[in-house]
């Protein structure tokens, strides 16, 4: 009888205590899992700098030390420069908007820059807005920047009768009859990687235009014979072979001696 009683008590205690042990295990797992009350408290983010800047991928001559400008049909990159003094910078989510349109595929954690194509016309601009926040939205800030749209440019330089091109743009040139002069047209802010992506069309008084996209198409050699006292103009038109909307023109007034 005592053995049966002891066995009954053991079975009773096992059945009684099993749910408690199970519940206890579940609670422990919860504490180690996603229960937000038991997560490690994140250090708050303290922002010290947020700046936006843009860069354009347009072409400029090798000796140009200025900023390349965005043009219609080209690409531009907007980058965010963020500094914090506390918190986890990798927890920040970047949400980009171009002209009030959310760029979902280009937004997310760590996506601190955006690349997009210029679609608007010369003289207008694109607006880029960045919304920066963390997971629980305990930190939030936004900043915007305007991207102006420019036109491609063309500048003509001459040799002025010597062996080297002048470093001053030519709008007027005096050339000597029966002597060789050279002109070079330098393009700026086209969406190209090399000059052979452009077509150059040189026009001279009384002659058929010279059209070329060769490596030396930007240079015109000119010798005017027995034309002392005459005046005229040289015109050059340049266009992007792949993006015909990108074009520029320039002229030089000539005085022949």
Instruction: Supply the DSSP symbol for 38.
Output: G
In tens digits, what is the pLDDT along the chain, a chain of 257 residues?
Answer: 455 545 455 555 444 444 444 434 434 334 334 434 334 456 889 889 999 999 999 999 988 999 999 999 999 999 999 998 988 999 999 999 999 999 999 999 999 999 999 999 999 999 999 999 998 888 999 999 999 999 999 999 887 655 556 566 667 677 777 888 889 999 999 999 999 999 999 998 778 999 999 999 999 988 877 666 567 788 999 999 999 899 999 998 887 77
Strand partners, 144: 129
Tokens at 242, concatenated: 């792949």
Q: What is the CATH number of domain 46-148?
A: 2.60.40.10
In terms of CATH, what superfamily is 153-256? Immunoglobulins (2.60.40.10)
Phi, psi for residue 163 in degrees, rounded to 5? -85, -10
Strand partners, 154: 187
> Do the beta carbons of residue 237 and residue 213 sit within 8 Å?
no
Dist CA 185 CA 248 (whole Å): 11
């Amino acid at each position: 009888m005592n053995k049966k009683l002891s066995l009954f008590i053991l079975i009773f205690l096992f059945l009684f205590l099993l749910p408690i042990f199970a519940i206890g295990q579940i609670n422990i797992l919860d504490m180690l899992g996603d229960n937000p009350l038991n997560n490690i408290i994140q250090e708050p983010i303290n922002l010290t700098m947020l700046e936006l800047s843009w860069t354009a991928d347009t072409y400029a001559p090798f000796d140009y030390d200025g900023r390349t400008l965005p043009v219609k049909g080209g690409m531009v990159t907007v980058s965010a420069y963020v500094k914090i003094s506390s918190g986890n910078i990798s927890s920040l989510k970047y949400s980009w908007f171009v002209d009030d349109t959310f760029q979902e595929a280009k937004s997310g954690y760590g996506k601190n820059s955006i690349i997009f194509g210029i679609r608007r016309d010369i003289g207008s601009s694109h607006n880029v807005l960045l919304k920066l926040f963390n997971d629980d939205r305990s930190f939030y800030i936004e900043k915007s920047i305007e991207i102006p749209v420019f036109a491609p440019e063309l500048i003509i330089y001459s040799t002025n009768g010597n062996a080297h091109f002048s470093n001053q743009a030519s709008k007027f040139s005096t050339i000597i009859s029966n002597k060789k002069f050279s002109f070079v047209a330098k393009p700026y802010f086209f969406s190209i990687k090399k000059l052979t992506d452009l077509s150059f069309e040189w026009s001279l008084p009384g002659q058929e235009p010279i059209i070329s996209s060769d490596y030396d198409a930007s240079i015109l050699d000119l010798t005017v014979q027995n034309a002392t006292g005459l005046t005229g103009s040289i015109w050059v038109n340049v266009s992007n072979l792949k993006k015909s909307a990108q074009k520029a023109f320039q002229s030089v007034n000539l005085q022949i001696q």
